Amino acid sequence: MLILGIGLSVIVLLLIWLLLDPETEPEEMPGRVALIPKGNAEEAFLSFISQAWGLETPPDPIEERLQAAQAWLRERIASLRGPRRWVRDFERGVMRRLRRLLVEADLPWHPLEWIGLTLALMTLGAWVGLQVYRLPGFVLLGALMGGMLPFLLIHHRREARRRRLEFQLADALLLISRTLQAGGSLYTAFAEIARQFPPPIAGEFRRVLLELHLGFSISEALEHMRERVPSEDLSMAITAIQINQQVGGNLSEFLEKVASRIRERVHLQNEIRVMTASYRLSAQILAVLPLLLWLVLFPLNRRYMMRFFTSGIPGYAMLGLVLFLVLLGLLVVRRMTRVNL
């Protein structure tokens, strides 16, 4: 064991030396030639003769092998660092995306907290599928349904917040226009919006004012606001303000036109939503009802429902057909009730 330990220690030290030893050569005085090179007497004599006659000695094969081994090890280590860098970049991208979604939904959570909640719900769904239905497929289905719940929640809050902000945006733009006509500045108009209006638009302009206090320009602060709120109407208004900051122009008149257009568009969207509310609700109920009935009947009459899995290809084909028809009906109703303005 002692000999084995010593041998392994020598091998590890050799590898460390091959990886970390810098390829440096001893400094030589200019105008002088080394007469006694490294090696035995024969190599020294050959080196002296070659230097005297202007010849070159052949390179040492052992040194070449060591250099090749060192280069190979460095290449392998560089190749191993590639996947680790890719994983780190992927992690940063996921965290950045989750942080942006939480900000858009106005949820004061950290991305790690959101990931923890998602994993907990996935575990709960998998446990329910295992304990109630006792099938591997239901374990996967329960985990998927539990993992989808947080993302459905964040999507619902994001869309609701965007609609509320668009409903308030026309009045906010009119206030900015009136403030500019009265001789005020954009900073004064933003402060009035943050003070007079209710959330969520008041909170967004409050963040803009905070960034202005921190040293950001108006264009940069509004660009950050555009990233937080995915709204076409708000993006158009921010673009107009940024262009006015660069080239000038009558910003108050343009904002009045944008505000009137936004008000008409929001009014028409609200009318369409009211007229199609019953159809959208019916489509959602008809889409969820077969799945709920199937999940309720399975533990009540397990032998009957297991025929979908024990009958082979016809049972799986029936399940696939039901799922396809439900999704097709949802897409058709969604396409019929959606109007692009």
| pLDDT value of residue 339 | 64
| Mean per-residue pLDDT, 184-192 | 88
Domain ranges of the chain: 64-99, 162-262, 276-341
Query: 162-262: what fold?
Result: Receptor-associated Protein (1.20.81)
pLDDT of residue 210: 92
Total count of residues recorded for the chain: 341
pLDDT of residue 23: 43
User: For residue 177, is pLDDT > 50?
Assistant: yes
What band does 209 get if pLDDT is binned at 50, 70 and 90? very high
* pLDDT (average), residues 57-85: 65
Note the pTM of the prediction, 2 decimals: 0.63
- pLDDT over 60 at 80, yes or no: no
Determine the pLDDT at residue 267: 85
Q: What is the CA radius of gyration of the chain?
A: 36
**Alpha-carbon gap, residue 291 to 151, rounded angstroms:** 20
In this prediction, residues 255-277 reach a mean pLDDT of 85
The answer, yes or no, to whether residue 196 has pLDDT greater than 80, is yes
> Among candidates 124, 122, 120, 141, which has minimal Cα distance to 298?
141
Confidence of residue 31 (pLDDT cuts 50, 70, 90): very low
What's the mean pLDDT in 124-139? 83
Category of 288 on φ-ψ map: left (φ > 0), alpha (ψ -120 to 50) or beta: alpha
Average pLDDT, the chain: 77
Q: Is the pLDDT of residue 27 over 80?
A: no
**Does position 314 have pLDDT exceeding 50, yes or no?**
yes
Q: Residue 110 — pLDDT band, cuts 50, 70, 90? A: confident
Mean pLDDT calculated for residue range 66-71: 74
Arithmetic mean of pLDDT, 179-207: 88
Residue entry with tokens 């029936």: 318
Query: Quick one: average pLDDT of 230-250?
Result: 83
Q: How far apart are the first and last CA of the chain?
A: 80
Distances from the Cα of 105 to the Cα of 4, 46, 100, 183, 270, angstroms: 61, 80, 9, 35, 21
- What are the tens digits of pLDDT across the range 7-23? 555 465 455 544 444 44
The pLDDT of residue 38 is 44
133: amino acid identity, one letter:
Y
Cα-Cα-Cα-Cα dihedral sign, residues 280, 284, 290, 292: negative
